[in-house]
Amino acid sequence: MRRRNLAFNLLFSVLGALLILFVILPLVSTVLSTTPAALLASFADPEVLQSIGLTFTAGAIATMLAFVTGIPLAYLLARHAFRGKHLLEAVINLPVVIPHTAAGIALLLVFGRRGMLGQVLGPLGLTFTDNLAGIVVAMLFVSLPFLVNLSRESFAMVDEEYEKVAYTDGASHWQAFSKVTFPLAWRGVLGGMVMMWARGISEFGAVVILAYHPKIAPILVYERFTGFGLDAAQPIALILLLVALVVFITLRLVLLPEQG
């Protein structure tokens, strides 16, 4: 029996290692093939710095918008059973399975200058094509499932008895949520926010259709690659990889020490 367990664990370890190697090899290759001089030159490039700043800012705005609207929805999904709940959950997860170029077309039909909302909001001075608002909308659409789903799971893990005790002590629903439920679920909510932000800043397909300009970092990587070749695109790609690495190491080791 012990030999069988050893063989079983060894087989699964080898198969898992192959998958990990599949993930690590491209990342290591990007790091090793980018010279320090090229990386430093990218940090000194105003277009690169502006693009990265725009990317991070748009991702943060999209995340905050999703926080304001998505946290209440996540709480309701975690606490209540109602007709159509599974359908609603499926709708929330649709951006994960929709090809993002198709998502960009769909967003353009709604937020473009001739779109459903674009025609209404345009005369008011709010446009979404080729500006920050369009980038935020695209990032929000493709990444919101991460925040809603992780927050819903975190709220569901909080025992409802804690809320009932708060109600017994005279707390309102808002007080029970803000002083009991949310403080107990904040780690998962924060994890969802970080995951959403990270997914948002990596978006390309939806953004390039709705708001090609001003260029976010993924679009700049593509433009440098198609216009100047691999060497020109590598340093910017490496910066994005390093940011993603720092974000997830921070998330696992500092912000969410109980997980992992």
11, part of any domain: yes
Number of compact structural domains in the chain: 2
Same domain for 45 and 14, yes or no, is: no
Dihedral-angle region of residue 259 (phi above 0 means left; psi in -120 to 50 means alpha; beta otherwise):
beta
72 in a structural domain: yes
Q: How many CB atoms lie within 10 A of CB 120?
A: 10
Residue 111 has pLDDT above 90, yes or no: yes
Same-domain check for residues 245 and 137: yes
- The answer to whether the beta carbons of residues 75 and 181 sit under 8 Å apart is yes
Please count the other Cβ atoms lying within 10 Å of the Cβ belonging to residue 36: 8
pLDDT at 255: 64
Q: Residue 118 above 50 pLDDT? A: yes
pLDDT in tens, 10-20: 999 999 999 99
Question: By residue range, what is the domain housing residue 131?
Answer: 39-255
What single string gives the DSSP state of each residue in 39-101?
Answer: HHHHHT-HHHHHHHHHHHHHHHHHHHHHHHHHHHHHHHHHH---TTHHHHHHHHHHHHHS-HH
pLDDT bracket for residue 71 (50, 70, 90): very high
Instruction: Kindly report, residue by residue over 37-60, the tens digit of the pLDDT.
Output: 988 888 889 999 999 999 999 999
> Quick one: angle between helices 230-250 and 217-228, nearest 10?
160
> Which of 122, 121, 145, 123 is closest to 62 using CA atoms?
145
Q: What is the pLDDT of residue 260?
A: 44
Give percent of the chain above pLDDT 90: 68
Residues 209, 177 within the same domain: yes
Taking only the tens place, the pLDDT of each residue in 129-177 is 989 999 999 999 999 999 999 999 999 999 999 998 998 888 899 999 9
What is the distance, to the nearest Å, from the Cα of residue 148 to the centroid of all Cα atoms in its chain?
A: 11
Please give the single-letter amino acid code of residue 38: A
Q: How many CB atoms lie within 10 A of CB 197?
A: 24
The whole-number average pLDDT for the span 119-134 is 92
The pLDDT of residue 77 is above 60: yes
Is residue 260, in this structure, part of any structural domain at all? Answer: no
Instruction: Give CA–CA dist 2/221, Å, rounded.
Output: 52
Whether residue 23 is found in the same domain as residue 66: no
Q: Do both 142 and 127 map to the same domain?
A: yes
Distance CA 251, CA 240 (A): 16
Q: What is the Cα–Cα distance from 177 to 181, expressed in whole angstroms?
A: 5
Q: Using CA atoms in the order 182, 188, 191, 195, what is the torsion angle rounded to 10 degrees?
A: -110
13 with 139, same domain?
no
Whether residue 205 is found in the same domain as residue 119: yes
| Residue 91 reports pLDDT greater than 70 | yes
Quickly state the pLDDT bin for 3 (edges 50, 70, 90): confident
Model confidence at 259: pLDDT above 80: no
User: Could you tell me if residue 179 is inside a domain?
Assistant: yes
227's tokens: 């216009």
Lookup result for tokens 């995340």: 63
130 in the same domain as 220: yes
* Shared-domain flag, residues 102 and 87: yes
CATH number of the domain encompassing residue 62: 1.10.3720.10
60: amino acid identity, one letter: A
pLDDT digits (tens, 9 = 90+) for 180-209: 999 999 988 988 998 899 899 999 999 999
Structural domain includes residue 98: yes
Q: Find which of 93-97, 134-138, 166-170, 227-231 is predicted with most confidence, using mean pLDDT.
A: 134-138
Do 8 and 86 fall into the same domain?
no
Is the pLDDT at 240 greater than 70, yes or no?
A: yes
On whether both 5 and 117 belong to a single domain, the answer is no
Residue 128 belongs to a domain: yes
Tens digits of per-residue pLDDT, 211-224? 998 999 999 999 99
Task: Give a yes or no: residue 120 inside a domain.
Answer: yes
Cβ–Cβ under 8 Å, residues 108 and 213:
no
Per-residue pLDDT for 70 more than 90?
A: yes
Distances (CA, A) of 111 to 127, 133, 252: 8, 10, 36
In a domain, 144, yes or no: yes
**Token couple for 180:** 């009991």
Same domain, 147 and 92: yes
Mean pLDDT, rounded, of the chain: 91
